[in-house]
Amino acid sequence: MSKPIRIGIIGAGGIARGAHIPSYQSYGRDVEVVSVSNHNKEKAVECAEQFSIPHAYENEQQMLDEMDLDAVSICTPNKFHAAQAIAALKAGCHVLCEKPPAMTAEEAETMAWEAEKAGRILTYGFHFRFQPEVESLKKYIDGHELGEIYAAKTHYNRRRGIPGWGVFTNKELQGGGTLIDNGVHMLDTALYLMGYPKPKTVLGATYQKIGHRPGVGLMGEWDDENFSVEDMARGMITFENGSSLMFESTFAANIEELSSKKVSIVGDQGGAELFPLKIFQEKYDTLVDTTPAYVEKRDVHESLVHDFIECMLHDKQPVSTPSEGVLIQQIIQALYESAKTGEAVNI
Ligand SMILES: NC(=O)c1ccc[n+]([C@@H]2O[C@H](COP(=O)([O-])OP(=O)(O)OC[C@H]3O[C@@H](n4cnc5c(N)ncnc54)[C@H](O)[C@@H]3O)[C@@H](O)[C@H]2O)c1
Protein backbone atom coordinates (compact mmCIF):
# COMPACT_ATOMS: atom_id res chain seq x y z
CA MET A 1 0.00 0.00 0.00
CA SER A 2 1.32 3.51 -0.81
CA LYS A 3 2.06 6.00 1.96
CA PRO A 4 -0.81 8.26 3.12
CA ILE A 5 -0.95 11.84 1.81
CA ARG A 6 0.60 14.09 4.47
CA ILE A 7 -1.52 17.15 5.26
CA GLY A 8 -0.59 20.30 7.17
CA ILE A 9 -3.10 22.88 8.36
CA ILE A 10 -2.27 26.60 8.52
CA GLY A 11 -4.64 28.46 10.84
CA ALA A 12 -6.31 26.51 13.65
CA GLY A 13 -9.60 28.42 13.96
CA GLY A 14 -13.26 27.86 13.10
CA ILE A 15 -13.11 26.61 9.51
CA ALA A 16 -10.05 24.42 10.13
CA ARG A 17 -11.64 22.69 13.12
CA GLY A 18 -15.23 22.76 11.90
CA ALA A 19 -14.60 21.63 8.33
CA HIS A 20 -11.09 20.96 6.99
CA ILE A 21 -9.56 18.74 9.68
CA PRO A 22 -12.64 16.51 10.24
CA SER A 23 -13.07 16.21 6.46
CA TYR A 24 -9.48 15.04 5.92
CA GLN A 25 -9.84 12.66 8.84
CA SER A 26 -13.12 11.23 7.53
CA TYR A 27 -11.52 10.29 4.18
CA GLY A 28 -9.76 7.23 5.57
CA ARG A 29 -6.32 5.70 5.45
CA ASP A 30 -5.08 7.42 2.29
CA VAL A 31 -4.75 10.71 4.18
CA GLU A 32 -3.16 11.81 7.45
CA VAL A 33 -3.25 15.27 9.03
CA VAL A 34 0.27 15.31 10.44
CA SER A 35 0.70 18.90 11.58
CA VAL A 36 -1.05 22.15 12.36
CA SER A 37 0.37 25.64 12.56
CA ASN A 38 -1.06 28.79 14.10
CA HIS A 39 0.73 32.04 14.86
CA ASN A 40 -0.57 31.63 18.38
CA LYS A 41 1.20 28.41 19.48
CA GLU A 42 -1.31 27.66 22.24
CA LYS A 43 -4.07 27.45 19.66
CA ALA A 44 -1.99 25.14 17.50
CA VAL A 45 -1.30 22.83 20.44
CA GLU A 46 -4.93 22.87 21.56
CA CYS A 47 -6.07 22.03 18.03
CA ALA A 48 -3.48 19.26 17.71
CA GLU A 49 -4.72 17.73 20.96
CA GLN A 50 -8.37 18.06 19.94
CA PHE A 51 -7.82 16.13 16.69
CA SER A 52 -4.88 13.88 17.72
CA ILE A 53 -2.55 15.61 15.25
CA PRO A 54 1.05 14.66 16.08
CA HIS A 55 2.81 18.02 15.48
CA ALA A 56 1.98 21.65 16.33
CA TYR A 57 3.88 24.74 15.11
CA GLU A 58 3.64 28.47 15.54
CA ASN A 59 5.56 29.18 12.34
CA GLU A 60 4.22 27.75 9.08
CA GLN A 61 7.57 28.07 7.27
CA GLN A 62 9.20 25.86 9.90
CA MET A 63 6.35 23.38 9.48
CA LEU A 64 6.83 23.40 5.69
CA ASP A 65 10.61 22.93 6.11
CA GLU A 66 10.37 20.08 8.60
CA MET A 67 7.22 18.06 7.89
CA ASP A 68 7.66 16.79 4.32
CA LEU A 69 4.03 17.66 3.55
CA ASP A 70 2.16 16.75 0.37
CA ALA A 71 -0.56 19.37 0.84
CA VAL A 72 -1.79 22.15 3.07
CA SER A 73 -5.11 23.78 3.88
CA ILE A 74 -4.88 27.52 4.42
CA CYS A 75 -7.45 28.58 7.01
CA THR A 76 -6.14 31.96 8.15
CA PRO A 77 -7.55 35.50 7.77
CA ASN A 78 -7.56 36.70 4.14
CA LYS A 79 -4.50 38.93 4.56
CA PHE A 80 -2.25 35.86 4.93
CA HIS A 81 -3.67 33.64 2.15
CA ALA A 82 -1.32 34.72 -0.63
CA ALA A 83 1.99 34.62 1.25
CA GLN A 84 1.17 31.31 2.93
CA ALA A 85 -0.10 29.69 -0.29
CA ILE A 86 3.02 30.81 -2.15
CA ALA A 87 5.31 29.51 0.62
CA ALA A 88 3.49 26.15 0.53
CA LEU A 89 3.65 25.90 -3.28
CA LYS A 90 7.36 26.71 -3.16
CA ALA A 91 7.75 23.89 -0.63
CA GLY A 92 6.19 21.54 -3.20
CA CYS A 93 2.75 21.27 -1.58
CA HIS A 94 -0.67 21.17 -3.20
CA VAL A 95 -2.82 23.94 -1.70
CA LEU A 96 -6.46 24.19 -0.69
CA CYS A 97 -6.88 27.85 0.28
CA GLU A 98 -10.01 29.17 1.94
CA LYS A 99 -12.06 31.81 0.16
CA PRO A 100 -11.60 34.54 -0.92
CA PRO A 101 -8.39 33.67 -2.80
CA ALA A 102 -6.52 36.74 -1.55
CA MET A 103 -6.75 40.47 -0.80
CA THR A 104 -5.94 41.75 -4.31
CA ALA A 105 -5.99 40.61 -7.94
CA GLU A 106 -2.20 40.90 -8.08
CA GLU A 107 -1.86 38.47 -5.18
CA ALA A 108 -4.24 35.99 -6.85
CA GLU A 109 -2.23 36.28 -10.08
CA THR A 110 1.03 35.55 -8.26
CA MET A 111 -0.57 32.56 -6.54
CA ALA A 112 -1.77 31.21 -9.91
CA TRP A 113 1.67 31.74 -11.43
CA GLU A 114 3.45 30.01 -8.53
CA ALA A 115 1.07 27.03 -8.76
CA GLU A 116 1.76 26.73 -12.49
CA LYS A 117 5.50 27.01 -11.93
CA ALA A 118 5.45 24.40 -9.15
CA GLY A 119 3.13 22.06 -11.07
CA ARG A 120 0.95 21.81 -7.97
CA ILE A 121 -2.81 22.05 -7.39
CA LEU A 122 -4.11 25.38 -6.12
CA THR A 123 -7.81 25.46 -5.37
CA TYR A 124 -10.17 27.54 -3.26
CA GLY A 125 -12.84 26.92 -0.61
CA PHE A 126 -15.85 27.67 -2.80
CA HIS A 127 -17.92 24.87 -1.32
CA PHE A 128 -21.25 25.98 -2.83
CA ARG A 129 -20.07 24.39 -6.08
CA PHE A 130 -20.56 21.05 -4.32
CA GLN A 131 -24.23 21.73 -3.47
CA PRO A 132 -26.20 19.03 -5.33
CA GLU A 133 -28.53 21.71 -6.78
CA VAL A 134 -25.57 23.68 -8.17
CA GLU A 135 -24.09 20.51 -9.65
CA SER A 136 -27.44 19.66 -11.19
CA LEU A 137 -27.95 23.12 -12.73
CA LYS A 138 -24.40 23.07 -14.11
CA LYS A 139 -25.28 19.84 -15.95
CA TYR A 140 -28.42 21.47 -17.40
CA ILE A 141 -26.32 24.43 -18.54
CA ASP A 142 -23.57 22.22 -19.99
CA GLY A 143 -26.33 20.25 -21.76
CA HIS A 144 -27.43 23.54 -23.45
CA GLU A 145 -30.86 23.49 -21.77
CA LEU A 146 -30.62 27.24 -21.05
CA GLY A 147 -28.97 28.17 -24.36
CA GLU A 148 -26.86 31.31 -24.41
CA ILE A 149 -26.61 32.80 -20.92
CA TYR A 150 -26.75 36.57 -21.11
CA ALA A 151 -27.96 37.75 -17.72
CA ALA A 152 -27.60 36.77 -14.08
CA LYS A 153 -28.48 38.15 -10.69
CA THR A 154 -27.39 37.07 -7.23
CA HIS A 155 -27.72 38.06 -3.62
CA TYR A 156 -26.63 36.77 -0.23
CA ASN A 157 -28.32 38.91 2.37
CA ARG A 158 -28.54 38.79 6.13
CA ARG A 159 -30.73 41.09 8.20
CA ARG A 160 -28.47 41.08 11.27
CA GLY A 161 -25.79 38.51 10.44
CA ILE A 162 -22.54 40.23 11.28
CA PRO A 163 -20.14 37.52 12.48
CA GLY A 164 -19.52 37.92 16.21
CA TRP A 165 -16.26 35.92 16.14
CA GLY A 166 -13.00 35.96 14.21
CA VAL A 167 -11.76 39.03 12.34
CA PHE A 168 -14.56 39.33 9.74
CA THR A 169 -15.19 42.99 10.60
CA ASN A 170 -11.52 44.01 10.41
CA LYS A 171 -10.68 45.59 7.06
CA GLU A 172 -6.94 45.39 7.56
CA LEU A 173 -7.00 41.60 8.06
CA GLN A 174 -9.90 40.66 5.76
CA GLY A 175 -9.80 43.29 3.01
CA GLY A 176 -13.51 44.02 3.31
CA GLY A 177 -16.80 42.85 4.80
CA THR A 178 -19.91 41.24 3.35
CA LEU A 179 -18.70 41.29 -0.27
CA ILE A 180 -15.49 39.40 0.40
CA ASP A 181 -16.98 37.13 3.09
CA ASN A 182 -20.50 35.80 2.43
CA GLY A 183 -21.13 37.64 -0.86
CA VAL A 184 -18.14 36.04 -2.53
CA HIS A 185 -19.78 32.60 -2.31
CA MET A 186 -22.79 33.66 -4.39
CA LEU A 187 -20.61 35.73 -6.72
CA ASP A 188 -18.52 32.62 -7.40
CA THR A 189 -21.60 30.42 -7.85
CA ALA A 190 -23.10 32.82 -10.42
CA LEU A 191 -19.80 33.20 -12.28
CA TYR A 192 -19.26 29.43 -12.30
CA LEU A 193 -22.69 28.83 -13.82
CA MET A 194 -22.08 31.61 -16.37
CA GLY A 195 -18.83 29.89 -17.40
CA TYR A 196 -16.57 32.45 -15.70
CA PRO A 197 -16.69 34.99 -18.55
CA LYS A 198 -13.99 37.69 -18.64
CA PRO A 199 -15.18 40.82 -16.79
CA LYS A 200 -15.18 44.12 -18.67
CA THR A 201 -16.75 46.88 -16.57
CA VAL A 202 -17.69 46.97 -12.90
CA LEU A 203 -19.87 49.47 -11.07
CA GLY A 204 -20.10 49.07 -7.30
CA ALA A 205 -21.44 50.70 -4.16
CA THR A 206 -20.75 49.78 -0.54
CA TYR A 207 -22.33 51.04 2.68
CA GLN A 208 -21.55 51.01 6.38
CA LYS A 209 -24.84 51.91 8.03
CA ILE A 210 -25.46 49.39 10.84
CA GLY A 211 -22.26 47.60 11.90
CA HIS A 212 -20.70 50.61 13.60
CA ARG A 213 -23.43 50.75 16.27
CA PRO A 214 -24.65 48.08 18.73
CA GLY A 215 -27.68 46.02 17.72
CA VAL A 216 -29.36 42.63 17.64
CA GLY A 217 -26.67 40.11 16.66
CA LEU A 218 -28.07 36.98 15.06
CA MET A 219 -24.56 35.58 14.54
CA GLY A 220 -23.21 36.62 17.93
CA GLU A 221 -22.45 40.02 19.38
CA TRP A 222 -20.20 41.90 17.02
CA ASP A 223 -17.57 44.48 17.95
CA ASP A 224 -19.31 47.66 16.81
CA GLU A 225 -16.51 49.91 18.05
CA ASN A 226 -13.95 48.38 15.71
CA PHE A 227 -16.24 47.68 12.77
CA SER A 228 -14.22 48.83 9.75
CA VAL A 229 -15.87 47.04 6.80
CA GLU A 230 -18.95 47.44 4.61
CA ASP A 231 -22.24 45.93 5.80
CA MET A 232 -23.82 46.15 2.33
CA ALA A 233 -22.29 45.78 -1.13
CA ARG A 234 -24.01 46.13 -4.51
CA GLY A 235 -22.74 45.99 -8.02
CA MET A 236 -23.23 45.45 -11.71
CA ILE A 237 -20.65 43.61 -13.79
CA THR A 238 -20.58 43.44 -17.57
CA PHE A 239 -18.51 40.84 -19.40
CA GLU A 240 -16.59 40.75 -22.67
CA ASN A 241 -19.09 38.25 -24.11
CA GLY A 242 -21.92 40.79 -23.62
CA SER A 243 -23.48 39.13 -20.56
CA SER A 244 -24.11 40.96 -17.28
CA LEU A 245 -24.47 40.16 -13.58
CA MET A 246 -26.20 42.09 -10.79
CA PHE A 247 -24.89 41.46 -7.27
CA GLU A 248 -25.92 42.32 -3.72
CA SER A 249 -24.83 41.11 -0.30
CA THR A 250 -25.34 42.27 3.25
CA PHE A 251 -24.04 41.50 6.72
CA ALA A 252 -26.86 43.66 8.06
CA ALA A 253 -29.67 45.64 6.44
CA ASN A 254 -33.26 46.57 7.21
CA ILE A 255 -34.83 43.91 5.02
CA GLU A 256 -37.64 41.41 5.69
CA GLU A 257 -35.80 38.11 5.62
CA LEU A 258 -33.30 37.17 8.31
CA SER A 259 -31.16 35.41 5.72
CA SER A 260 -31.64 34.84 2.04
CA LYS A 261 -29.56 33.81 -0.92
CA LYS A 262 -30.37 33.38 -4.57
CA VAL A 263 -28.74 33.00 -7.96
CA SER A 264 -30.82 33.67 -11.10
CA ILE A 265 -29.49 32.72 -14.51
CA VAL A 266 -31.18 33.80 -17.73
CA GLY A 267 -30.47 32.19 -21.09
CA ASP A 268 -32.21 32.42 -24.45
CA GLN A 269 -33.50 28.83 -24.19
CA GLY A 270 -34.28 28.76 -20.49
CA GLY A 271 -33.72 30.35 -17.12
CA ALA A 272 -33.04 29.00 -13.65
CA GLU A 273 -33.02 29.93 -10.00
CA LEU A 274 -31.11 28.58 -7.03
CA PHE A 275 -31.72 28.15 -3.92
CA PRO A 276 -33.98 26.17 -4.32
CA LEU A 277 -33.45 24.98 -7.90
CA LYS A 278 -36.15 25.85 -10.46
CA ILE A 279 -35.79 25.82 -14.24
CA PHE A 280 -38.01 27.92 -16.54
CA GLN A 281 -38.43 27.00 -20.21
CA GLU A 282 -40.75 27.20 -23.19
CA LYS A 283 -41.23 23.72 -24.67
CA TYR A 284 -43.74 22.50 -27.27
CA ASP A 285 -45.63 25.84 -27.08
CA THR A 286 -45.89 25.56 -23.33
CA LEU A 287 -44.20 27.55 -20.60
CA VAL A 288 -42.91 24.93 -18.19
CA ASP A 289 -41.17 24.99 -14.82
CA THR A 290 -38.98 22.12 -13.63
CA THR A 291 -38.16 21.44 -9.99
CA PRO A 292 -36.27 18.48 -8.53
CA ALA A 293 -38.39 15.91 -6.73
CA TYR A 294 -35.50 15.05 -4.44
CA VAL A 295 -32.29 16.83 -3.50
CA GLU A 296 -29.52 14.90 -1.78
CA LYS A 297 -28.37 16.27 1.56
CA ARG A 298 -24.62 16.61 1.68
CA ASP A 299 -21.82 18.03 3.84
CA VAL A 300 -20.40 20.31 1.15
CA HIS A 301 -17.28 21.22 3.13
CA GLU A 302 -16.48 17.52 3.29
CA SER A 303 -17.19 17.16 -0.44
CA LEU A 304 -14.77 20.01 -1.18
CA VAL A 305 -11.96 18.50 0.90
CA HIS A 306 -12.58 14.98 -0.42
CA ASP A 307 -12.52 16.30 -3.99
CA PHE A 308 -9.15 17.97 -3.26
CA ILE A 309 -7.85 14.60 -2.04
CA GLU A 310 -9.23 12.78 -5.10
CA CYS A 311 -7.53 15.33 -7.35
CA MET A 312 -4.19 14.59 -5.67
CA LEU A 313 -4.70 10.83 -5.74
CA HIS A 314 -5.91 10.64 -9.34
CA ASP A 315 -4.11 13.60 -10.94
CA LYS A 316 -7.38 15.49 -11.64
CA GLN A 317 -8.04 19.24 -11.86
CA PRO A 318 -10.22 20.63 -9.05
CA VAL A 319 -13.48 22.31 -9.98
CA SER A 320 -12.27 25.73 -8.74
CA THR A 321 -9.15 26.85 -10.62
CA PRO A 322 -6.39 29.43 -10.04
CA SER A 323 -7.42 31.44 -13.13
CA GLU A 324 -10.98 31.73 -11.79
CA GLY A 325 -9.41 32.91 -8.55
CA VAL A 326 -7.78 35.73 -10.49
CA LEU A 327 -11.03 36.72 -12.25
CA ILE A 328 -13.12 36.82 -9.07
CA GLN A 329 -10.43 38.80 -7.27
CA GLN A 330 -10.34 41.30 -10.18
CA ILE A 331 -14.10 41.75 -9.82
CA ILE A 332 -13.94 42.16 -6.03
CA GLN A 333 -11.14 44.70 -6.33
CA ALA A 334 -12.98 46.64 -9.03
CA LEU A 335 -16.21 46.64 -6.97
CA TYR A 336 -14.36 48.16 -4.00
CA GLU A 337 -12.54 50.65 -6.21
CA SER A 338 -15.74 51.71 -7.94
CA ALA A 339 -17.49 52.08 -4.58
CA LYS A 340 -14.68 54.38 -3.45
CA THR A 341 -14.51 56.57 -6.54
CA GLY A 342 -18.16 56.45 -7.59
CA GLU A 343 -17.00 55.66 -11.14
CA ALA A 344 -17.30 52.47 -13.17
CA VAL A 345 -14.01 50.55 -13.42
CA ASN A 346 -12.80 48.98 -16.65
CA ILE A 347 -10.84 45.78 -16.10
N1 LIG B 1 -15.80 28.37 3.12
C2 LIG B 1 -16.47 28.89 4.13
O3 LIG B 1 -17.68 28.80 4.23
C4 LIG B 1 -15.73 29.63 5.20
C5 LIG B 1 -16.32 29.77 6.46
C6 LIG B 1 -15.60 30.45 7.44
C7 LIG B 1 -14.36 31.00 7.15
N8 LIG B 1 -13.84 30.85 5.89
C9 LIG B 1 -12.54 31.45 5.56
O10 LIG B 1 -11.54 30.79 6.35
C11 LIG B 1 -10.55 31.72 6.77
C12 LIG B 1 -10.45 31.64 8.30
O13 LIG B 1 -11.72 31.86 8.88
P14 LIG B 1 -12.12 31.24 10.31
O15 LIG B 1 -13.60 31.36 10.41
O16 LIG B 1 -11.50 29.92 10.52
O17 LIG B 1 -11.44 32.32 11.26
P18 LIG B 1 -10.93 32.13 12.75
O19 LIG B 1 -10.66 33.49 13.27
O20 LIG B 1 -11.86 31.25 13.51
O21 LIG B 1 -9.55 31.31 12.58
C22 LIG B 1 -8.39 31.85 11.99
C23 LIG B 1 -7.19 31.24 12.69
O24 LIG B 1 -6.01 31.72 12.04
C25 LIG B 1 -5.07 32.11 13.05
N26 LIG B 1 -4.16 33.08 12.47
C27 LIG B 1 -4.33 34.42 12.32
N28 LIG B 1 -3.26 34.94 11.67
C29 LIG B 1 -2.42 33.92 11.39
C30 LIG B 1 -1.17 33.83 10.75
N31 LIG B 1 -0.58 34.90 10.22
N32 LIG B 1 -0.59 32.61 10.66
C33 LIG B 1 -1.18 31.51 11.18
N34 LIG B 1 -2.37 31.54 11.82
C35 LIG B 1 -2.98 32.73 11.92
C36 LIG B 1 -5.92 32.65 14.18
O37 LIG B 1 -5.24 32.65 15.42
C38 LIG B 1 -7.09 31.65 14.16
O39 LIG B 1 -6.79 30.51 14.94
C40 LIG B 1 -10.98 33.09 6.24
O41 LIG B 1 -10.30 33.35 5.05
C42 LIG B 1 -12.47 32.92 5.93
O43 LIG B 1 -12.90 33.72 4.85
C44 LIG B 1 -14.49 30.17 4.94
The distance in angstroms from the start CA to the end CA of the chain is 50
Task: Read off the pLDDT of each residue in 24-47 and give the average, rounded to a whole number.
Answer: 97
Residues 102 and 233 in one domain: no
Residues 306 and 292 in one domain: no
Residues 139 and 285 in one domain: yes
pLDDT at 295 over 90: yes
Residue 75: give the domain boundaries. 5-127+302-317
Cβ atoms of 30 and 94 within 8 Å: the answer is no
Confidence of residue 90 (pLDDT cuts 50, 70, 90): very high
| Domain count of the fold of the chain | 2
Residues 74 and 136 in one domain: no
Amino acid 107: pLDDT: 98
Residues 143 and 123 in one domain: no
Question: Which residue, among 67, 73, 85, 194, has the nearest Cα to 142 in the 3D structure?
Answer: 194
Decide whether any atom of ligand 1 lies within 6 Å of the 125 Cβ.
yes
Residue 72 lies in a domain: yes
Q: In CATH, what number is assigned to the domain containing residue 205?
A: 3.30.360.10
Distance 76 CA to ligand 1 centre (A): 4
User: Would you state the torsion angle of the CA atoms of residues 82, 229, 218, 100, taken in this order, to the nearest 10 degrees?
Assistant: -20
Dist. CA 333–CA 331, nearest whole Å: 5
Confidence of residue 116 (pLDDT cuts 50, 70, 90): very high
Residue 107 lies in a domain: yes
pLDDT at 263 over 70: yes
Distance 173 CA to ligand 1 centre (A): 10
Mean pLDDT of the chain: 97
Residues 103 and 212 in one domain: no
Task: Read off the pLDDT of each residue in 249-269 and give the average, rounded to a whole number.
Answer: 98
Confidence of residue 20 (pLDDT cuts 50, 70, 90): very high
Decide whether any atom of ligand 1 lies within 6 Å of the 14 Cβ.
yes
Calculate helix-pair angle for 105-118, 322-341, nearest 10 degrees: 170
Amino acid 151: pLDDT: 98
pLDDT at 1 over 80: no
DSSP state letter for 135: H
Q: pLDDT tens digit string along 168-199?
A: 999 999 999 999 999 999 999 999 999 999 99
Distance 75 CA to ligand 1 centre (A): 5
Amino acid 292: pLDDT: 97
Residues 205 and 169 in one domain: yes
Decide whether any atom of ligand 1 lies within 6 Å of the 164 Cβ.
no
Cβ atoms of 339 and 203 within 8 Å: the answer is no
Residue 322 lies in a domain: no
Residues 156 and 282 in one domain: yes
Query: 3-class DSSP state for residue 147?
Result: coil
Amino acid 25: pLDDT: 98
Task: Read off the pLDDT of each residue in 289-311 and give the average, rounded to a whole number.
Answer: 97
Residues 98 and 137 in one domain: no
Distance 216 CA to ligand 1 centre (A): 24
Residues 184 and 78 in one domain: no
Ligand 1 atom, smallest distance to 12 CA: 39
Dist. CA 117–CA 195, nearest whole Å: 25
CB neighbours of 106 closer than 8 A, spacing ≥ 6? none
Decide whether any atom of ligand 1 lies within 6 Å of the 77 Cβ.
yes
Confidence of residue 137 (pLDDT cuts 50, 70, 90): very high
Task: Read off the pLDDT of each residue in 244-253 and give the average, rounded to a whole number.
Answer: 98
Residues 157 and 269 in one domain: yes
pLDDT at 48 over 90: yes
Decide whether any atom of ligand 1 lies within 6 Å of the 101 Cβ.
no
Residues 340 and 202 in one domain: yes
Decide whether any atom of ligand 1 lies within 6 Å of the 131 Cβ.
no
Decide whether any atom of ligand 1 lies within 6 Å of the 73 Cβ.
no
Residue 44 lies in a domain: yes
Decide whether any atom of ligand 1 lies within 6 Å of the 127 Cβ.
yes
Amino acid 29: pLDDT: 87
Could you tell me where the beta strands, DSSP code E, fall in 163-243?
Answer: 199-207, 232-239
Residue 323 lies in a domain: no
Cβ atoms of 63 and 37 within 8 Å: the answer is yes
Cβ atoms of 40 and 318 within 8 Å: the answer is no
Distance 219 CA to ligand 1 centre (A): 16
Decide whether any atom of ligand 1 lies within 6 Å of the 210 Cβ.
no
pLDDT at 224 over 80: yes
Q: pLDDT tens digit string along 319-342?
A: 999 999 999 999 999 999 999 999
Amino acid 2: pLDDT: 77
pLDDT at 163 over 70: yes
Q: In CATH, what number is assigned to the domain containing residue 97?
A: 3.40.50.720
Ligand 1 atom, smallest distance to 125 CA: 1
Distance 15 CA to ligand 1 centre (A): 6
DSSP state letter for 159: S
